[in-house]
Structure 1
Amino acid sequence: MLMATINSSIVIISLPDIFRGIKLDPLQPGNVSYLLWMLMGFLLVTAVLVVSLGRLGDIYGRVKIYNLGFAVFTAGSIALVFDPFTQGSGALWLILWRLVQGVGAAMLFANSTAILTDAFPSDRRGFALGINQVAAIGGSFMGLVIGGLLAPVDWRLVFLISVPFGLIGTVWSYKSLRETSVRTRARVDCVGNALFAVGLTAILAGITYGIQPYGGHDMGWTNPWVLTGLIGGAALLAVFCVVEARVDAPMFNLSLFRIRAFTAGNLAGLLASVSRGGLQFMLIIWLQGIWLPLHGYSFASTPLWAGIYLLPLTVAFLIAGPLSGFLSDRYGARAFATGGLLLAAVSFLGLMMLPTNFNYWAFGGLLVLNGIGSGLFSAPNTTAIMNSVPANRRGVASGMRGTFFNSGTSLSIGIFFSLMIVGLAQTLPAALTSGLEAHGVSATVATGIGQQPPVGSLFAAFLGANPIGTLLGGLPASAIQGADLNTLTSKQFFPQLIATPFHHGLVIVFSAAIAMSLIAAVASLFRGTRYVHTD
């Protein structure tokens, strides 16, 4: 689990070095899709397949599917290391094998929680699943540090690091794990699998392309292909629900939603996953694109230092996760999960109130608060979900929980990037135009640059890059004659320019995160007292 989630985030922080390694500028027109699919492909595959693979675990054996996941994941990691291409072809190779990695990760996601639930009695599951949740969510933040360390040395190391662990894990799992669950004889729900996969893929792909400019608009929500994906995907999922209610052996067991603890836990988990995923992306942009350059760090070194400065969040989560899982075995999940969500909401409020060029100790303290809140929520919530279902439904229940978790992370990219772009669109054009004019760029040229969609500036900040040099470099010399190029292309100019518009966007983003956390807390509160399903 740790290996799978490290790989979901290690690429996020390593993207600048990966694109430099394959000689591709992701900020050039036409290349943004490569950037988005490098981010989204892995998450999309795991979100789409995790329920199907959990159901297959119920039918054919959870350990068998889990072991196969190790092998598939390792094969994808090896292929990623040996990318033979550069530029667009190199990016497509990486995207393809990241999708393969995602298939293996989905096999691990879908069955690891069910295997642990089978192996541990109900009075010890919270602690066991707490450690598993620490691996799952802690890995997503540890990947930021590991990627920051390895990518500047050689971008291929980002993928190579998984290979020895994957090989050892494949052999170890085949030799040590034994099937303890009772298999459920049933046909594979082919129609349900197809409807779910196509419907969810269409929605997530639509969201992915919705944040790209289209037809003179800052975003692509009016793009016919985006609307087709969103509306068509929603229609297919509606048909999927009708089909699943009528088949004998459904992939997505809708009857489980009659269990209050299961429904409330998954709703809270989905909203918490969206807010946590959005937090990760916003903090990376904040550190790499603004705070670190303003404090003298070069753009090339910002990925590493962004990971290091986020360590308080990881450490706090690593401590709170197992502890809350252990205590929830005795006292139940409701108080810990609900309290954790409220702490997360308070941390979002604190981050929203910080100035863009903050004092690090205040920032670090809020990260600790958020890590504690996430740790208090995650393990007890997962334990409550898995305790609430029959033993012969643990595979599909684990897959359904994984779908909500991974879909939340995928949705966070579209939701939070869209909210940030809305915020930037209101203030960035004027700030960019006036800033360029103040340093000698003609009004006509400055206005033209300022009117470009803000998504380019947002992705530049996300990659820890300075887009001003790229924007000015594409102009004829006569257009920028007399401009103070040394100041315009310095590492402080762009961060200072985007700081105020970015903070305006942060207020919108963190307001949404607070609302999601509070709604999730209400759902968690209504989960009921501690409940363990007895067969």
Structure 2
Amino acid sequence: MTLDTQTAPAPQVTDHGPQYKWIALSNTTLGVLIATINSSIVLIALPDIFRGIHLNPLLPQNTGYLLWMMMGFLMVTAVLVVSFGRLGDMFGRARMYNMGFAIFTVSSVFLAITWFDGAEAAVWLIFWRIVQGVGGAFLMANSSAILTDAFPANQRGLALGINGVAAIAGSFLGLLVGGVLAPIHWHLVFLVSVPFGIVGTVWAYLKLRDTGIRKRAKMDWWGNVTFAVGLVAVLVGITYGIQPYGSHSMGWSSPMVLSCLIGGLLVLGLFAAIEVRVPSPLFNLSLFANRSFTFGNIASLMSSIGRGGLQFILIIWLQGIWLPQHGYNFEQTPLWSAIYMIPMTIGFLLTAPVSGALSDRMGTKWFTTIGMVITACTFAALIAMPVNFSYPIFAVVLLLNGIGMGLFSSPNRAEVMNSLPVDARGSGSGMMSTFQNSAMVLSIGVFFSLMITGLTTHLPSTMNAGLIANGVPADQAAQVAQLPAVAVLFAAFLGYNPVQELLGSHLHTLPQANQDTLTGLDFFPHLISDPFADGLSTTFTFAIVCCVIGAAASLFTGTRDQLVETIEVTRGTAGNGND
């Protein structure tokens, strides 16, 4: 089923003067920066947000609110970026980008003015976070295409590198901004985006213009519907898979989760069958005939899977174990965990623009390959590190991790975007963003699942023995020890005192000395250190495998003449009316 939504032919290129490319770069960098800051800003701010709306996210009936607050933004951007990139190809990339800025700004206003409490406030916040994700998807889907149109080929690596810095650095800066603002007042976490959104929206409408080709095309409705339904089902299944189910520590055996995963994959299979038959597909599968596009996306996908859950694991490591052992109260740990992860951001900021600029002259392959190898080595170093590490060594490893990601990110994006024909840059950019954002959600699910599996092996017996040794009756200790490991992880992740949350009212029946020991800064970190090390080894080994695959895929990029490939792909789509 298709519906004609034809656009008038546009000129091949419109010249808006030598300064236009820098206007495009500065505006799209601002847009991507605030979008990615908001993708992670709530992670550190969640304790203050839930305290502000008077809702305990650790209660079983409220866990869904917690998960959707964390994952909703990522999920909606993963689903929509490719469709919005396609709309940019059809109706104008600047026009779709401008619309995204406006939607993002309006939703930020509604998030900031939340005035009620409880479950109603949680639903309100989740809804407007999803709308904010819609705006973010418009921004992410079209920013790379706008830059690729505006910059000549010999400067695209630099431009996409700077834009890529904003994209990934924003996810780290969001942690820091959320950690600083949330303790002052949780509304500031959302209010901070409003002035930047207003300025960016007005600036985009006044200055951005479409400089590339627009397609004569039909809207692929069946493709859009099957893609959205299939991907949403898979991502929902992953999200609920890390929740407990019955007597199981995770929900992977839940009929609902299995139905989402299996049904979603079947619908995505139907989507692929549709895409090879319709004249103007949402996913232009012929683009995968281009080796650089294919292997560049494989490398990007594996990079995103390998590092997507890293923030969560590092936050739990710092907040639940390392910071309390070094004198920080649990309530202080969200902010300080963001501060202690700054070296990763510095490493990325140092190398991403430089590698992008150098790859314009030297090619991309060795930057991306070496970047993935360095990142894999840093995961190996984190495995070898004791749980109660020396911070200078930890900081150096995080710095190198950021350097590795910076070396990879900008040249990889430039390689993929340069491989695209001019009239497919919006949809191609959207496809790449879809792979990256979907991989981030998948990575979080995989990292949490591997970590929970590692904890479940030893944590119950360790916790049971530790609680009994400090005066907790055996039946109560056994009951607490059998609680799902995800409850322990979420408590540590949210900056709560885990033992105090797990024991609840039982804590007050114990002598004061035992209460002080159990809720002190040493008991829980020492209790969880060995089981956490097991989970850490499993998760980071998985990350190493992903990075090695990404490095191998990077070796296959840039091995054929890009111009020849672009002409071949363009010819392959010429019969579809995509002039």
Bin for the TM-score computed over the shorter chain: over 0.9
Q: Specify the alignment match of 2:118 in structure 1.
A: 87
- The match for 1:501 is 531
Q: How many residues were matched structurally?
A: 534
RMSD: 1.2
| Alpha-carbon separation, structure 1, partners of 2:231 and 2:212 | 29
Q: What is the CA distance between 1:491 and its match in structure 2?
A: 2.6
Structure-2 residue corresponding to 1:146: 177
* 2:553 paired with 1:523: yes
Q: 1:472 offset after TM fit, Å?
A: 2.0
Structure 2 letter corresponding to 1:519: I
Shift of residue 273, structure 1, vs aligned partner: 0.8
1:139-164, Cα deviation, whole Å (9 max, x unpaired): 10011111111010001101000000
Q: Which residue of structure 1 lines up, in the alignment, with residue 278 of structure 2?
A: 247
Contact 1:384 1:530 in 2 (8 A): no
Distance, in Å, in 1 between the alignment partners of 2:289 and 2:116 is: 51
Matched, 1:43 2:81: no
Matched, 1:491 2:502: no
Could you tell me which residue of structure 2 aligns to residue 330 of structure 1?
Answer: 361
Matched position secondary structure for 1:123: helix
The answer as to whether partners of 2:94 and 2:142 remain within 8 angstroms in 1 is yes
Correspondent of 1:387 among 388, 406, 418: 418
1:302-334 superposed Cα distances (whole Å, 9 cap, x missing partner):
111111111111011001000000110011110
Give the drift of 1:532: 3.2
Q: Secondary structure at the match of 2:309?
A: helix
Q: 2:206 aligns to what SS in structure 1?
A: helix
> Is 1:321 aligned with 2:352?
yes
Q: Which amino acid aligns with 1:464?
A: G
One of 205, 221, 226 as aligned partner of 1:174: 205
In the other structure, the counterpart of 1:475 is 506
Q: Secondary structure at the match of 1:423?
A: helix
Q: Deviations over 1:72-117 (max 9, x none)?
A: 0001100001112212111111100000000000000000000000
Q: Secondary structure at the match of 1:361?
A: helix
Decide whether the 8 Å contact of 1:332 with 1:529 is kept in 2. no
**Is residue 230 of structure 1 aligned with residue 261 of structure 2?**
yes
Instruction: Label 1:140 to 1:482 Cα distance change in 2 as closer, same or farther (>3 A).
Output: closer
Segment of structure 1 superposing worse, 468-477 or 59-68: 468-477
CA distance in 1, matches of 2:198, 2:154: 33
> Would you say 1:435 and 2:494 are equivalent positions?
no
2:61 partner SS: coil
1:512 lines up with 2:537 in the alignment: no
Match of 1:113 in 2: 144
Q: Which of 384, 387, 394 is the equivalent residue of 1:353?
A: 384
Q: Does 1:58 align with 2:89?
A: yes
Are 1:11 and 2:42 an aligned pair?
yes
Residue 296 of structure 2, aligned match among 265, 268, 291: 265
Structure 2 unmatched runs, 5+: 1-31, 568-579
Distance 1:282 1:474, change over 3 A: same
SS in 2 for 1:274: helix
Distance 1:113 1:530, change over 3 A: farther
CA distance in 2, matches of 1:219, 1:474: 26
Code of the aligned partner of 2:290: I
**Are 1:292 and 2:293 counterparts?**
no
Out of 327, 330, 343, the position equivalent to 1:312 is 343
Matched position secondary structure for 1:154: coil
Whole-Å separation in 1 of the counterparts to 2:336 and 2:511: 36
Whether the aligned pair in 1 keeps the contact of 2:145 and 2:426 (CA below 8 Å) is yes
154-163 vs 521-530, greater mean Cα deviation: 521-530
In 2, Cα distance between equivalents of 1:382 and 1:530: 17
Alpha-carbon distance in 2 for matches of 1:128, 1:494: 47
Higher mean C-alpha deviation, range 263-272 or range 520-529: 520-529
Please point out which of 123, 127, 132 is paired with 1:101: 132
| 1:467 shift after superposition | 2.3
How many angstroms apart in 2 are the aligned matches of 1:115 and 1:380? 17
- 2:515 counterpart letter in structure 1: L
The Cα offsets for residues 204-263 of structure 1, whole Å up to 9 and x where unpaired, read as: 000100111112001111111100000000000000000000000000111111111001
Question: Out of 187, 193, 207, which is 2:218 matched to?
Answer: 187
TM-superposed deviation, 1:412: 1.2
Q: Which residue of 2 aligns with 1:216?
A: 247
- Cα distance in 2 for partners of 1:217, 1:224 equals 13
Shift of 1:481: 6.5
Distance 1:195 1:396 in 2: 17
Tell me the distance in 1 between the aligned counterparts of 2:147 and 2:365: 21
Conserved? CA contact 2:364–2:558, under 8 Å: no
Q: Aligned partners of 1:438 and 1:428: how far apart in 2? A: 15
Q: Secondary structure at the match of 1:31?
A: helix
TM-score calculated relative to the size of structure 2: 0.91
2:437 to 387, 400, 406: 406
1:132 aligns with 2:163: yes
Tell me the SS of whatever aligns to 1:188.
Answer: strand
Is residue 77 of structure 1 aligned with residue 108 of structure 2? Answer: yes
Shift of the alpha carbon at 1:483?
A: 7.7
Offset at residue 492 of structure 1 (A): 2.4
Deviation per CA, 1:325-356: give whole Å up to 9, x if none: 01100111100000000000000000111111
Does 2:478 correspond to 1:447? yes
Q: 2:415–2:558: 8 Å Cα contact kept in structure 1?
A: no
Moved more, 269-278 or 39-48: 269-278
Do the aligned partners of 1:85 and 1:93 also contact (CA within 8 Å) in 2? no
Give the residue type in structure 2 aligned to 1:248.
P
Do the aligned residues in 2 keep the contact of 1:43 with 1:102 (CA within 8 Å)? Answer: yes
- What is the match of residue 10 of structure 2? none
Alignment CA distance shift 1:500-1:531 (3 Å): farther
Following the alignment from structure 2 to structure 1, what is the Cα–Cα distance between the partners of residues 420 and 48?
Answer: 45
Output one character per residue of 1:422-459: Cα deviation in whole Å (capped at 9) or x when no partner: 00000110111011011011222111111111110011
Please tell me whether residue 340 in structure 1 is matched to residue 371 in structure 2.
Answer: yes
Once the two structures are overlaid, the 10-residue window that deviates more, 491-500 or 192-201, is 491-500
Residue 275 of structure 1 deviates from its aligned partner by 1.4
Q: How far apart in 2 are the matches of 1:211 and 1:178?
A: 44
Structure 2 residue identity aligned to 1:499: S
Helix, strand or coil at the partner of 1:273: helix
One-letter amino acid matched to 2:276: A
**Deviation at 1:468?**
1.4
How far, CA to CA, are the matches of 1:387 and 1:531 in structure 2?
11
* Unaligned residue ranges in structure 1 (runs of 5+): none
1:42-65 Cα distance to aligned partner (Å, 9 max, x none) = 000000000000000000000000
CA drift at 1:477: 6.1
- Identity over the aligned pairs, expressed in percent? 58
1:413: how far off?
A: 1.3
- Displacement of 1:298: 1.3
Decide whether aligned partners of structure 1 residues 530 and 7 sit closer, same or farther in structure 2, where only a CA change above 3 A counts: farther
Equivalent-residue separation in structure 2 for 1:355 and 1:165 (angstroms)? 42
Deviation at 1:471, TM superposition (A): 2.4
**Paired residue type of 2:135:** G
Is contact 2:491–2:501 with CA below 8 Å preserved after alignment?
no
